[in-house]
Amino acid sequence: MRDIMVQVLATVMIPLTVAGTGLYYTRWQQNLNDLKTMIDLVSDDNSEKRKFGIAMLEYLLKNDKVPVEFVAAQLDYANSSSDKQMLPLMESALMKASDENPAVAETFRKALERLPSRLFVHVVTDQQRACISTMLLSLKDADRAQVSVPLIAQVNWDGKQHELRVLKDSDMERGQGIANMFASLGLELKVVNLTTIWDGAKKVRPNTFELWFGDAPLPTVCGGTAQPVKTQ
């Protein structure tokens, strides 16, 4: 991981040396050293050092010292890490930094666009639980790579339609794309924008969606009656 991060730094930071010398170079070198130190900490085997590295990431973000390419690489590493606490901690650091530095929010959003969309699934019945697993396996490889399902929860809900809930205005287009993807398998989803409906949406990271199964028919791929929909 450390080698990958250093390569990212080299790609992003080294070309800046041609832009100036003296004080500028000194600051650039310090920024580079800070990022390298943070890489060492985040990738350390010791969990406490990893937490300190994430705290250092938050500090550097607040001070505009982390390029978007680096944030994307860090999130990608955390997303595949065996340490299941790393991604939530890193996301929390980015959210806190976004509160103090508006530029970080845009950096965070762009970085998350490079990762699969998180889709939290809510089912009412065991048949629906089995259905979402079947549909994920039925998706084309390219489509399946676009979503990650960290949780399938069983809930009590009396909705008449299946819903795809979008938590950020900036994610509406991507949300519609996810809805179209499932429609191609026969699951018709009503896209609902929760940005102005649910205050808690403000605390959720970008590129996060919720799929709620209602009483509507399931697709034929799951043994239901709903037919696939051809999308443009």
53, two tokens: 């590295």
Does residue 93 sit in the same domain as residue 105?
yes
Residue 149 lies in a domain: yes
Residue 227 lies in a domain: no
φ, ψ for residue 201 (rounded to 5)?
-60, -25
The span from the CA of 219 to the CA of 175, in Å, is: 20
Instruction: State pLDDT tens for residues 188-230.
Output: 999 999 998 998 888 888 899 999 999 999 999 999 888 887 6
The span from the CA of 80 to the CA of 69, in Å, is: 17
Does residue 17 sit in the same domain as residue 96?
yes
β strands within 63-116, DSSP E: none
The span from the CA of 62 to the CA of 95, in Å, is: 10
Does residue 127 sit in the same domain as residue 70?
no
Among candidate residues 65, 84, 113, the one where a domain is terminated: 113
Does residue 9 sit in the same domain as residue 107?
yes
| DSSP symbol at 114 | T
Does residue 49 sit in the same domain as residue 106?
yes
157, two tokens: 């809900």
Mean pLDDT throughout 151-178?
Answer: 95
Query: In the predicted model, is pLDDT for residue 23 greater than 50?
Result: no
* Separation in Å, CA 120 to CA 14, 131, 135, 166, 210: 39, 14, 15, 11, 5
Does residue 24 sit in the same domain as residue 65?
yes
Does residue 55 sit in the same domain as residue 84?
yes
Does residue 8 sit in the same domain as residue 102?
yes
Q: Containing H/E element for 117?
A: strand 117-123
Among candidate residues 76, 93, 113, the one where a domain is terminated: 113
Query: In the predicted model, is pLDDT for residue 172 greater than 80?
Result: yes
Residue 136 lies in a domain: yes
* Separation in Å, CA 63 to CA 20, 59, 76, 102, 121: 20, 7, 22, 11, 36
Residue 228 lies in a domain: no
Residue 47 lies in a domain: yes
On whether the CB atoms of residues 131 and 185 are closer than 8 A, the answer is no
Does residue 107 sit in the same domain as residue 9?
yes
26, two tokens: 């000194």
Mean pLDDT throughout 171-184?
Answer: 96
Residue-level pLDDT at 196: 86
Q: Show the DSSP H helices in 81-140 as ranges.
A: 86-100, 102-113, 126-138
Range of the domain at 17: 2-113
Number of domains in the chain: 2
Residue 200 lies in a domain: yes
Does residue 70 sit in the same domain as residue 130?
no
Give the largest CA-CA distance in the chain: 70
Residue 232 lies in a domain: no
Instruction: State pLDDT tens for residues 33-59.
Output: 888 888 888 888 888 998 888 899 888
Does residue 125 sit in the same domain as residue 87?
no
On whether the CB atoms of residues 164 and 175 are closer than 8 A, the answer is yes
Among candidate residues 113, 140, 173, the one where a domain is terminated: 113
The span from the CA of 140 to the CA of 228, in Å, is: 14
Residue 204 lies in a domain: yes
Percentage of residues in the chain with pLDDT exceeding 90? 41
Does residue 164 sit in the same domain as residue 93?
no
